[in-house]
């Protein structure tokens, strides 16, 4: 048998969402920098948008061992790909991408032409267990990546206990009235976790809801994999992470990934410093940075609900009146596809909101360079949907938050922000009076206390990503583990990896 040592070649396969892709691209930069061969598998749809709105191709071209590849997500071009259709994206990926992925990976696990060695390890978004099955079938080491908080992931592992104790599915006549009941069977969260804070997927009365099975499979895959990468940092979620390690001992907590990337870019002499970094799937309206430059320090409310949330006109109008009545300046991201317009309603109200904001010295944009916005000195508060990337970005920037969670892990993230870390306030109602009151509170009376807490967390985040910090060390350990697969040898007679 003629054998050659194969050099490590890692496949990164994010679930096709902005936050999932964004943070995995940040991880990819590190792995490229460590000299690994990287194939980044994007959905066709996201890749087209990424190339259209960013310089990602140019940015990554400095690493000859990096390449993008694409796979269809199976959805029509005009599909909304929003929170409301989240399960359609999951199902479509499974139906369309799974067979194609398997075929691609069988080819790629054989010797490739030119510079590309066979794949030695997969890093797969845990939302796609089907891809992990393929890795197992090909006996390729697989590490799972999750783009959500550890506190949310931990509740996934507690599902059997919640069922056994009859805390799930929700019992009782009018569950809606009972959402403040506290949950007792999520170890480490007794006392502050309520029904309403559980991940939105749990909030059903139907024990046969397929989501419970999906989450069961996701947990099983996390425990079977070689390890699990989470975009969080030890000092932020330490009690939950201690619990978590009882189920998944090999955890790589490497967050905040966006901050690690920024730091590396600033310190790297090999970088051409004039290359801006963006992983956006929408066109960033940079006029908001110029606008922020002319606002007083700490004066602006920044409001954005991420890439998936969709809300209706009534909700939009409540936020509008609440913001205007607060008398504060605001920068509001209203994604073109984020407002659910019912039949015959027309869209003229959107133009009125944009113009009305301008008349009041504020600004509405379609998509913003969020990390840059959050680190701007004019920022006073971040009104957010509590998506995990946004939460990490808000913490790192040291900007107090007002939380209005919609789905998935956002509910529990919001609870941790307001009750555990005490770096923000959760909106308990979405009406103009509540919004006005909470915005004023956070910008005025509560500001000092919240800023002190969030500055403390931001410092801890900086420590974790600096040399010798936990996230840096975990990243180095990850790179070492990815390199160790290099010990596998390539059998040139059978074109397979052995050992």
Binding site for ligand UDP (CB under 6 A): 17-19, 22, 280, 304, 306-308, 333, 367-368, 370-371, 387-390, 393
Nearer to ligand UDP, 7 or 26 (CB): 26
- Strand partners for 9: 37
Residue nearest to ligand UDP (CB): 387
Distance, in Å, from the CA atom of 48 to the CA atom of 19, rounded to the nearest integer, reads: 16
State in angstroms the smallest separation of the CB of 380 from ligand UDP.
17
Nearer to ligand UDP, 109 or 295 (CB): 295
Indicate the burial class of 292 (C-beta count within 10 angstroms; 0-12, 13-18, 19 or more).
Answer: buried
State in angstroms the smallest separation of the CB of 221 from ligand UDP.
21
Whole-angstrom CA distances from 28 to 31, 38, 358 are 5, 7, 39
* 451 close to 379: Cβ distance less than 8 angstroms: no
Nearer to ligand UDP, 183 or 303 (CB): 303
Nearer to ligand UDP, 197 or 371 (CB): 371
State in angstroms the smallest separation of the CB of 387 from ligand UDP.
2
Nearer to ligand UDP, 170 or 421 (CB): 421
Phi, psi of 383 (to 5 degrees): -90, 110
Alpha helix segments (H runs only) across 327-409: 348-359, 370-374, 388-397
State in angstroms the smallest separation of the CB of 2 from ligand UDP.
47
Nearer to ligand UDP, 117 or 306 (CB): 306
Residue (of 426, 420, 413, 421) closest to 191 by Cα position: 420
Nearer to ligand UDP, 237 or 393 (CB): 393
State in angstroms the smallest separation of the CB of 480 from ligand UDP.
28
State in angstroms the smallest separation of the CB of 276 from ligand UDP.
13
State in angstroms the smallest separation of the CB of 384 from ligand UDP.
7
CA atoms within 13 A on the CB side of 393: 27
Indicate the burial class of 84 (C-beta count within 10 angstroms; 0-12, 13-18, 19 or more).
Answer: middle
Indicate the burial class of 413 (C-beta count within 10 angstroms; 0-12, 13-18, 19 or more).
Answer: buried
Question: The tokens of 116 are what?
Answer: 């590309």
Residue (of 361, 308, 366) closest to 332 by Cα position: 366
Nearer to ligand UDP, 19 or 380 (CB): 19
* 319 close to 311: Cβ distance less than 8 angstroms: no
State in angstroms the smallest separation of the CB of 14 from ligand UDP.
11
Question: The tokens of 85 are what?
Answer: 């259709």
Alpha helix segments (H runs only) across 245-308: 257-267, 287-293
């Amino acid at each position: 048998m003629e054998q050659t040592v194969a050099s490590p070649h890692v496949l990164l396969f994010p679930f096709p969402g902005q936050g999932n892709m964004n943070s995995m691209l940040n991880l990819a930069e590190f792995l490229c920098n460590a000299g690994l061969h990287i194939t980044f598998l994007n959905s066709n749809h996201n890749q087209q948008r990424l190339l259209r709105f960013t310089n990602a191709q140019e940015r990554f071209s400095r690493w000859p061992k990096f390449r993008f590849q694409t796979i269809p997500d199976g959805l029509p071009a005009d599909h909304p790909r929003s929170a409301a259709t989240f399960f359609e994206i999951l199902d479509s990926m499974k139906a369309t991408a799974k067979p194609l992925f398997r075929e691609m990976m069988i080819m790629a696990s054989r010797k490739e032409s030119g510079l590309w060695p066979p794949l030695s390890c997969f890093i797969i978004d845990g939302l796609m267990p089907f891809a992990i099955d393929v890795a197992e079938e090909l006996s390729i080491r697989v590490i799972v990546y999750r783009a959500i908080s550890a506190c949310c992931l931990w509740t996934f592992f507690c599902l059997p206990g919640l069922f056994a104790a009859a805390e799930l599915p929700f019992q009782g006549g009018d569950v809606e009235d009972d959402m403040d009941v506290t949950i007792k069977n999520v170890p480490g969260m007794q006392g502050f976790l309520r029904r309403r804070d559980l991940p939105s997927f749990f909030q059903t009365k139907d024990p046969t809801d397929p989501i419970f099975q999906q989450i069961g499979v996701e947990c099983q895959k996390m425990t079977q994999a070689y390890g699990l990468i989470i975009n969080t940092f030890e000092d932020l979620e330490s009690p939950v992470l201690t619990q978590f390690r009882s189920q998944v001992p090999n955890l790589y907590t490497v967050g905040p990934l966006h901050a690690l990337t920024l730091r590396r870019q600033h310190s790297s002499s090999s970088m051409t410093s004039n290359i801006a970094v963006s992983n956006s799937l929408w066109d960033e309206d940079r006029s908001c940075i110029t606008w922020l430059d002319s606002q007083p320090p700490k004066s602006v409310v920044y409001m954005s609900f991420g890439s998936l949330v969709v809300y209706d006109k009534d909700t939009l109008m409540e936020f509008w009146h609440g913001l205007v009545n607060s008398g504060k300046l605001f920068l509001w991201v209203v994604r073109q596809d984020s407002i659910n317009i019912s039949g015959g309603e027309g869209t003229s109200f959107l133009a009125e909101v944009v113009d009305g904001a301008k008349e009041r010295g504020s600004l509405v944009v379609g998509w913003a360079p969020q990390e840059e916005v959050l680190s701007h000195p004019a920022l006073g508060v971040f009104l957010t949907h509590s998506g995990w990337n946004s939460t990490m970005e808000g913490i790192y920037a040291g900007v107090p938050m007002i939380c209005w969670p919609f789905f998935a892990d956002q509910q529990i993230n919001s609870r941790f922000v307001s009750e555990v870390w005490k770096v923000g306030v959760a909106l308990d109602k979405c009406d103009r009076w509540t919004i006005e009151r909470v915005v004023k509170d956070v910008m005025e009376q509560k500001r000092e206390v919240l800023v002190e807490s969030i500055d403390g967390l931001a410092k801890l985040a900086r420590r974790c990503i600096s040399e010798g910090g936990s996230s840096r060390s975990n990243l180095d350990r990850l790179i070492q583990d990815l390199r160790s697969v290099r010990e596998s040898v390539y059998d040139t007679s059978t074109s397979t990896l052995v050992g």
